Structure 1
Amino acid sequence: MSGRSGPFWEGVQGRAPLPRAAATLGLEFLDADVENGTIELAFTATEDFTNPVGNVLGAFLAAMLYDTVGPALLATLAPDEFQSTLELHTHFLRPVRPGRILGKGRVVHRAGDIAFLEAILTTPDGTTIATAGATARVIPLGQAPTSV
């Protein structure tokens, strides 16, 4: 994958800094299968992510899911393409404590510039924490919004 380029690959291959939000989540690139549209990532949930009872807030889990579905699509795109998430829906299945969280994402289907995506977060032992589905639009890199 060292021959790939574009904003996503620049970050995961260390040629550019990770986006600040991804760095905050402790994002670590593990693997991608570009042909099959799958990606594996890891996140580090810190004590700063917890609610009053010590569980990782759902908002941080949703951010991890968001940072899994997007890169699943980004990894498959040409260097001059980017993606814009149109919607994300999440399912929180069980609480989790701070620590390493694994994310797996995949492109379920792509039709033209619209892609349907899925992601799952698990503990290192394979227990499912949360899942998400998303819809995204592939856009020219120059059209990537600078703010939402």
Structure 2
Amino acid sequence: MDRKAFFWLIREGKLPEPRAAQTLGMKILSVDPDSGELEAEFEGKDEFTNPAGNIQGGFLSAMLDDTMGPALSSLLSEGEFAPTVNLNVQFLAPAKPGKLHAIGRVVKRGGGVCYLSGELSQDGRTVATATATAVVRKL
């Protein structure tokens, strides 16, 4: 864990929070860089709903990506960034406006390719899961 990496500079308030995280109402609840797990909460806003009144799947996907990515980012060194190159989302149940709970995990970190997983739940019910591949790059 490198406290000069972007993730930790943001956590310590030395860099601004990403605008996407602000839009999604993201709040990091806990992070364990030893296990590569991050727990977060999102605010499912009325502005995110489809005509049926459910949170549109693109927003749920963004929430999952914004959970798995920071889980990996907590493990990176100064000058490293890990963009998502593949994101697979499974929608299991509708999500309504309100709080959503997310867990992101680093399943395996290789030399440059990393495999991630995540779950998004609401009121104790899993609404979506995801897997992702990210590639570590030097800035």
TM-score interval for Structure 1 and Structure 2 normalised by the shorter chain: over 0.9
| Distance in 2 between residues matched to 1:98 and 1:7, nearest whole Å | 30
Secondary structure of the structure 1 residue equivalent to 2:136 = strand
Structure 2 matches for 1:1-148, cutoff 5 A?
A: 4-123=3-122, 125-140=123-138, 142=139
Over 3 Å counting, the alpha-carbon distance change for 1:127 and 1:41 in structure 2 is same
| TM-score normalised by structure 2 residue count | 0.94
Q: Which amino acid aligns with 1:135?
A: T
Match for residue 146 of structure 1?
A: none
| Distance in 1 between residues matched to 2:98 and 2:16, nearest whole Å | 23
Q: Which amino acid aligns with 1:100?
A: K
Q: CA deviation at 1:88?
A: 0.3
Structure 1 residue runs of 5 or longer lacking an equivalent are: 143-148
| Distance in 1 between residues matched to 2:12 and 2:128, nearest whole Å | 27
| TM-score normalised by structure 1 residue count | 0.89
Deviations along 1:62-96, one digit per CA (max 9) or x if unpaired, are: 00011011111001111221102110000000001
Q: CA deviation at 1:5?
A: 2.9
Q: Which amino acid aligns with 1:106?
A: R
Q: How many residues align?
A: 139
Secondary structure of the structure 1 residue equivalent to 2:3 = coil
CA RMSD of aligned residues (A): 1.4
| Distance in 2 between residues matched to 1:49 and 1:133, nearest whole Å | 22
Structure 2 residue runs of 5 or longer lacking an equivalent are: none
Matched-pair identity in %: 46
After superposing on structure 2, the runs of 4+ consecutive aligned residues of structure 1 that deviate more than 4 Å are: none
